[in-house]
Structure 1
Amino acid sequence: MTIQALKQQALEVRKTLLSMIYQAKTGHTGGALSSTDLITALYFEVMHIDPSNPKWEGRDYFILSKGHSVEGYLSALAKRGFFDESLLSTFCQYKSPLIGHPNNKIPGIEMNTGALGHGLSISVGMAIGLKKDKKPNRVFTLMGDGELAEGSVWEAAMAASHYKLDNLIAIVDRNHLQISGSTEDVMGLEPLRERWESFGWQVEEIDGNSMLEVVNALKAAPFKEHKPSLIIANTTKGKGVKEMEDIPSWHHGVPNQHLYEQAMLDFESMEKELQNV
């Protein structure tokens, strides 16, 4: 897809995930919106996947380590054809398989996630297994920046470097906010790039809400032979809805009717702008 088409697709994902949250009256809005461009680029341009055969042996693997931001992930999977899009309207409803975190009973989801700090460890194990089997498949994992306070992340980071996992590409959704406030107030992460480099990773830093930068970085990975790759994707929490952007309370906020309707009008305006470019 062209960058323009990917931007339009990301907008559709944002519209859908916000509708899911509004209808369900629950969800993690801010982080789902900040990571939409990353997930859209992965599923519509970068990853080797077959929606008609989710368990295809040649597929790339994706683990959403920040499992609470599942709404954009589910939206992208449905729009990519892994399951019927009508199922999205049941999100977090009684007996729905679409719960508030990834559920591997859903086609396209490799692993249940949600307990923060586990995704990178799981991805390291997958990448080691692929290396041992001499397979070319890649493993992508998306982490939240607040998640990096978990010690298991850094154990996995050491292991990835030790085993020279250049088939592993990790992404940090660096929106600088978590449920209790600024990441730097809760548990300082900076200098983040230097920390990952000291653990033996090859690091690139990008604007995670610029589709061009996202696609270029993902397609350039692995960045160096025999080294795991990390993308620090600087994003805006709540990206796309002005009233939500950079506000910590939207980590787990749900829009009221007025805000939801206004956001949908704003999305329509954005769509027209994209069509006129």
Structure 2
Amino acid sequence: MRRTVLQMAYAGSTVHIGCAFSIVELLSVLYRNHLRYPGNAPRAEGRDYLILSKGHGVMAQYACMHELGWLSDSDINGYFADGSNLKGLSDSRVAGLEVTSGSLGHGFSVGVGIAMGLQRKKTDQKVYAIVGDGELNEGPIWEGALVASHNKMDNLMLIIDKNGFQAMGMTDDVLALGDLCAKFTSFGFDTLEVDGHDENAIDAAIRQLWAMNSNRPKALIARTVKGKGVPFMESDNRWHYTRLDAQTYKEAIEAVEIHGTSK
């Protein structure tokens, strides 16, 4: 998946590689083990919903959609080209993307609305919403959390990509978030924290949250590394906006292939 992200970023000469890499394992586990798409159809009736509120990480979701056969090789290689449907932010006009996001803060609230609708329909469908930790600076996140808790939305799971960075620096320097477990617990969520790159731990935590069988919404705080998988990108916030050239593309591809082999 990281190789696919690199292929897209290089083909389209685009940014946001680091913030896509930090959610690769989270998305992999969700698509492999938890999200239900009857008939492998991205807009199937009865599907679960994945809301990528941190829409700038969309290349990681495109990589999953490619694995599922929803996107072709030509879609990947033509990323960001004239006429391509695939843009640098999540766009609901693309089958498989549930919201148009990138203006941070509002995607989660859309997910809360979807969860409320499913709750009223009394279905067993679930909603997963992925946000960045920098995104938690936005007020609509906390308004959405209050609504979810008040309405006992036990079909909703918020997943926080806690990579410690946002566009302009470290989250603790821009606006410190404090103890996120304590915060979301105080908002009425069942809350767990996990290594966001350990697929077995992620899977177990998701199952544990649903198994609590309470009437509370769920929050999974995933400790991640921005740029995970390419050593020269890891925790280097320049790769939020830096584009690949021929040399860095070659070095990055070699790095993810070594990582994949060793894993």
| 1:243 matches 2:232 | yes
Query: Structure 2: which 5+ residue stretches go unaligned?
Result: none
Q: Provide the aligned C-alpha RMSD in A.
A: 1.3
Which aligned pairs between 1:190-269 and structure 2 lie closer than 5 A?
A: 190-222=178-210, 223-269=212-258
Query: Which stretch shows the higher mean deviation, 145-154 or 46-55?
Result: 46-55
> 2-side partners of 1:261 and 1:156: how far apart?
42
Partner SS state of residue 157, structure 2: strand
Provide the aligned length of Structure 1 versus Structure 2: 262
Which aligned pairs between 1:50-89 and structure 2 lie closer than 5 A?
A: 50=38, 52-89=40-77
Residue 89 of structure 1 aligns with an amino acid whose one-letter code is N
TM-score if structure 1 supplies the norm length? Answer: 0.91
Partner SS state of residue 44, structure 2: coil
> 1-side partners of 2:186 and 2:77: how far apart?
44
> 1-side partners of 2:23 and 2:115: how far apart?
23
Residues 79 and 85, structure 1, Cα contact 8 Å, conserved in 2 = no
> 2-side partners of 1:148 and 1:16: how far apart?
28
Residue 220 of structure 1 aligns with an amino acid whose one-letter code is Q
Partner SS state of residue 82, structure 2: coil
> 2-side partners of 1:24 and 1:93: how far apart?
6
Q: Which residue of 2 aligns with 1:8?
A: none
Partner SS state of residue 227, structure 1: coil
1:109-133 deviation line (CA, Å, top 9, x unaligned)? 1121111001111111111111111
Residues 51 and 108, structure 1, Cα contact 8 Å, conserved in 2 = no
Partner SS state of residue 225, structure 1: coil
Residue 175 of structure 2 aligns with an amino acid whose one-letter code is M
TM-score if structure 2 supplies the norm length? Answer: 0.96
Residues 127 and 138, structure 1, Cα contact 8 Å, conserved in 2 = yes
- Distance apart, 1:51 and its partner CA: 6.0
Q: Which residue of 1 aligns with 2:145?
A: 157
Partner SS state of residue 226, structure 2: coil
Residues 179 and 251, structure 1, Cα contact 8 Å, conserved in 2 = yes
- Distance apart, 1:257 and its partner CA: 1.7
1:236-255 deviation line (CA, Å, top 9, x unaligned)? 00000000101111112222
Identical-pair percentage: 37
